[in-house]
Amino acid sequence: MNPRKVVLFANTDWYLYNFRLSLAKRLRDEGYEVVLLSPEGKYGPQMIEQGFRWQPVPMERRSLNPWRELMLIQWLAQFFARERPGIVHGFTIKGAVYGSIAAKLASVPVRINAIDGMGYVFTSNTAKARMLRPMVRHVMKLAFQGKSCALILQNPDDVSLFKEAKIVHDRTIRVVRGAGVDFKRFVPREEAAREPGQPLRVLLAARLIREKGIEEYAEAARILKSEKRSVRFLLAGSPDEGNPAAISVDKVRRWADEGLIEWLGHVSDMPALLSEIDVVALPSYYREGLPTTLVEGAACALPLITTDGPGCREVVSRNGEDGLIVPPRDGRALADAIRLLDDDRGLARKLGLAAHEKGLREFDETVVLDKLLATYRELGSRRRGPQIMQAESA
């Protein structure tokens, strides 16, 4: 095995490119050989252009076919056996579970498993989700055990869930709050650039699923438009096809045709978009890991509106001080919060600056990546002993 070779595995190439490329670059800078692994997609070639080796995986994200899933684990195990990495780092529930089981079969020394959010099986109360939950817990327990295995969670709520379910030992869990945001790339807009008297511009950026509070966002828009307020409601995000909680494109287009929202679709240049925004909203009732969209808004010193849900409360914890907290599934309360910021631009500025200060201290990617690299070194030292690790660091 090559202790300085790392495989980063996720269930979409989009996720690796948008949320874990900074980790890949940091690992490369630290002298690691990095292999990126995901199902095929348009972001794979872009990762290759960044100088990384990317390998497509024969994986169907929504598949529940047992035979297909066993074949995927076998494919991963054979790939790891050929590559002989020292570390396999899997992301999201499916990527972490399958990557960890396959790495265990291939005798990979260190397995790191990052759960960014609890996903459909744990957040939905449908009969299908309830049926799958015990099986997924059992498979997680099998996947996440081991002396040199760590489970990376993003908030205390998820830590409590894993502990109560007795999926892993306490010593296995590490809390790393989010994927990190580059506060040098996402920057506050100059106050002089804010044109006086222009409509308040609100942004919700998320996958198009109900649990993100998108329907409540449209309801809030309807309420404020009925008051003849010139507030612009922007929605950035793509359909999450195959997700049982997906909002149809037809519904989003109807909202746009009605003049309630402006649907931007997928936005690749978020810093540019946020430079033209006044408020970031995420009225989620989903079990978020730690919402990157809120941290990006904080980096740009924008006021945040969110709920007191898992993950969201890590970013906005003090209502009226580092953001505004509204009840979930309450479009009227969301409209009230937006109206408050529209009427009091001074308060909006104050909340934005407080969010920026907190974000820089807790969620900047340097802080996050330092914690992840410390976990790599800790688990590596357990396998190889302190003398080898000291020699490698010299």
Tens of pLDDT, residue by residue over 219-250, are 999 999 999 999 999 999 998 876 778 899 99
Q: How many CB atoms lie within 10 A of CB 360?
A: 16
- Separation CA 235–CA 355 (nearest Å): 21
3-state helix, strand, coil in the chain (%, to 5): 50, 20, 35
My answer on whether 171 and 234 are in the same domain is: no
Q: Is the pLDDT of residue 192 over 60?
A: no
Better pLDDT: 279 or 389: 279
Q: Is residue 124 classed as helix, strand or coil in its secondary structure?
A: coil
pTM: 0.89
- Which CATH number belongs to the domain containing residue 242 in this structure? 3.40.50.2000
My answer on whether 73 and 207 are in the same domain is: no
Which of 145-149, 228-232, 385-389 bottoms out in mean pLDDT, i.e. has the lowest?
Answer: 385-389
CB 309 within 8 A of CB 285: yes
CB 292 within 8 A of CB 263: no
pLDDT band at residue 134, thresholds of 50, 70 and 90?
Answer: confident
My answer on whether 214 and 330 are in the same domain is: yes
User: 151 phi and psi, to 5 degrees?
Assistant: -110, 115
Tell me the average pLDDT of the chain: 91
Q: Which pLDDT value is given to residue 393?
A: 44
Token pair 């612009």 is found at 232
Residue 214 lies in a domain: yes
My answer on whether 310 and 381 are in the same domain is: no
Q: If you write DSSP's letter for every residue of 204-260 in order, what string do you get?
A: EES-BBGGGTHHHHHHHHHHHHHTT---EEEEE--B-TT-TTBPPHHHHHHHHHHTS
My answer on whether 204 and 152 are in the same domain is: no
Residue 185 lies in a domain: no
My answer on whether 241 and 108 are in the same domain is: no
Residues of the domain holding 220: 191-362
- Please tell me the total count of domains within the chain: 2
Q: Which pLDDT value is given to residue 146?
A: 84
